[in-house]
Structure 1
Amino acid sequence: MSAFEGRTALVTGATAGIGRAVAVQLADRGAEVVVHGRDPERGAQVVQEIAERGGRARFVAADLTDAADVARLAAAAGEVDILVNNAGVYAFIGTPETSAADFDRHFAINTRAPFLLVGALAPAMAERGHGVIVNVTSTAATAVAPVGTAYGASKAAMELLTRSWATEFGAAGVRVNGVSPGPVRTDGTRQIMGEHVDLLGRTNIRGRVGEPDEIADVVLFLADDRSSYINGTVILANGGERSALPA
């Protein structure tokens, strides 16, 4: 249970949903966690929960739409051994309804912020000869849909970056992988679906939505030395895709 003892992890978007589950599990297994989010009150709640479970954590607020604030987050995090790029924003609207500001916000948070964090933190990992980066993408990166195109494009870019960074930093001991969740029961999905969240589960073979801890389990496996031979891979965690029946 102390697989990450002596390591520092930065988890973005760690005040709710998948990010919170990842932060708590990393701390449970010995990591000192830098909890990122926008809301200091929610950040304090996560830090308190981790402390009550015997772990160590601190909160750093940052606006990921602001490149300078992303740089400040990287500096405040310090020497990071594990970077989990989890924070994301999504709006399931059509292309005509997506303004330039909406498009830019998706890419600023979902793509540019991870890009800047990797640029700031991965070189030091490479100098030390070890480090892990896990990017939380989405099945929207590969599954076409009539809505949410800006979100899907931003996550598709993250999957390409995942493979590119694995090539760029892998020889220096830094592993980069991704997790692509299907529908997961989070505050974000509740805001979109309301009481109909469980309907999303009908789209997969398991017939249910995922839980944040189930995605966090995959993230932790990729961060752990047990996955030391995995690099440049995006793991699907979507309950299994349904095949179309022949007409």
Structure 2
Amino acid sequence: MARILITGSADGLGRAAAATLLDQGHEVVVHLRHRDRMAAVQDLLAGPARLVIGDLADAGQTHDLAAQANALGPLDAVIHNAGVYTGPAIAQVNVLAPYLLTALIAPPRRLVYLSSGLHRDGHESAAEALAAGLPISYADSKLCITALALALARRWPQVASHAVDPGWVPTRMGGPHATDDLREGHWTQEWLVTADDPGALVGGGYWYHRRRQAPHAAARDPAFQERLLDALAQATSVVLPMVG
């Protein structure tokens, strides 16, 4: 059975994926932003779940969160699920924190990053905005995280790195009028971190409901990927390690 860290596990898609994977017999590392949210995952922690705590909007706490994860021992997979739709923390939570955790946690065999269909409205100039500490839009953040996932598949071929569009689902972020199926919204992530299917084992995919799709052309462009990685290293003062 796999040991899987899921960021943003207190509610929504992260919590649903954690519950499903626990039911399947996997060991899940649950992540909370603050200790005062413990009640939301008390039932998960009654089973074979572990806990890490840290606010991804805070770079220092993100570093500490990575240290907590490493202290638990090797991970088989990380699902970078946490995200925000509005507010000043979009860049930090949606892009910089996943990058930091990726660079600081011992590389697992599988990585999954939550994207969005809105990433197709993102702008390549977001890379330079991140380096300069400027705000970016939600769409920009999802273009960047998709490009990061695909860049890692190229840089770390032994790690199966994928991006997933969960659809517009009725979570706290999606709202009650969302039209996609909630189960479909977390099924792909669970499959990518556990399945022996070649589609899951070979990185570089952008997925929607277990169907591989073509992302924004920039996300697949090695030149943009390298610009983004340089920008993320500049913004965080952490360079992505070589793995091999």
Report if TM-score (shorter chain) is over 0.5.
Answer: yes
Residue 73 of structure 1: aligned partner: 65
Percent identity of paired positions between Structure 1 and Structure 2 = 32
Paired with 2:121 and 2:202, the residues of 1 have a C-alpha distance of 24
- Asked if 1:236 is matched to 2:192, the reply is no
Paired with 1:116 and 1:143, the residues of 2 have a C-alpha distance of 24
- Asked if 1:106 is matched to 2:90, the reply is yes
Paired with 2:75 and 2:197, the residues of 1 have a C-alpha distance of 19
Paired with 1:232 and 1:8, the residues of 2 have a C-alpha distance of 22
Provide, for residues 186-243 of structure 1, a one-character-per-residue CA deviation record: whole Å limited to 9, x for no partner.
Answer: 12233xxxxxx33x42xxxxxxx321x322211111112323443111102399xxxx
Deviation at 1:50, TM superposition (A): 5.5
Q: For the Cα contact (< 8 Å) 1:135–1:158, is it kept in 2? A: yes
Over the residues paired in the alignment, what is the CA RMSD in angstroms?
Answer: 2.2
State the secondary structure of the residue aligned to 1:232: coil
TM-score scaled by length of structure 2: 0.72
Measured at CA, do residues 122 and 163 of structure 1 come closer, stay the same or move farther in structure 2, by a change above 3 Å?
farther
Provide, for residues 88-109 of structure 1, a one-character-per-residue CA deviation record: whole Å limited to 9, x for no partner.
Answer: 0012xxxxxxxxxx45x10100
Residue 205 of structure 1: aligned partner: none
Paired with 2:155 and 2:39, the residues of 1 have a C-alpha distance of 36
Report matched runs for 1:89-104 at 5 Å.
89-91=84-86, 102-103=87-88
Correspondent of 1:215 among 185, 192, 206:
185
Report matched runs for 1:150-189 at 5 Å.
150-170=137-157, 173-189=158-174
Paired with 2:38 and 2:50, the residues of 1 have a C-alpha distance of 8
Residue 55 of structure 2: aligned partner: 63
Paired with 1:40 and 1:138, the residues of 2 have a C-alpha distance of 28
Paired with 2:30 and 2:118, the residues of 1 have a C-alpha distance of 26
Residue 120 of structure 2: aligned partner: 142
Paired with 1:64 and 1:21, the residues of 2 have a C-alpha distance of 20
Paired with 2:68 and 2:205, the residues of 1 have a C-alpha distance of 29
Residue 12 of structure 2: aligned partner: 17
Deviation above 2 Å: which 4+ runs of structure 1? Answer: 39-45, 225-230
The AA in structure 2 aligned to 1:60 is: V
Residue 32 of structure 1: aligned partner: 27
State the secondary structure of the residue aligned to 1:42: helix
Paired with 1:166 and 1:122, the residues of 2 have a C-alpha distance of 16
Paired with 1:177 and 1:215, the residues of 2 have a C-alpha distance of 15
Residue 193 of structure 1: aligned partner: none
Deviation at 1:41, TM superposition (A): 4.3
The AA in structure 2 aligned to 1:189 is: G
The AA in structure 1 aligned to 2:181 is: G
Report matched runs for 1:43-62 at 5 Å.
43-49=38-44, 51=46, 55-62=47-54
Paired with 1:238 and 1:155, the residues of 2 have a C-alpha distance of 19
Q: Which residues of structure 2 form unaligned runs of 5+? A: 123-135, 212-244
Mark the structure with the bigger radius of gyration. Answer: 1
Q: For the Cα contact (< 8 Å) 2:52–2:68, is it kept in 1? A: yes
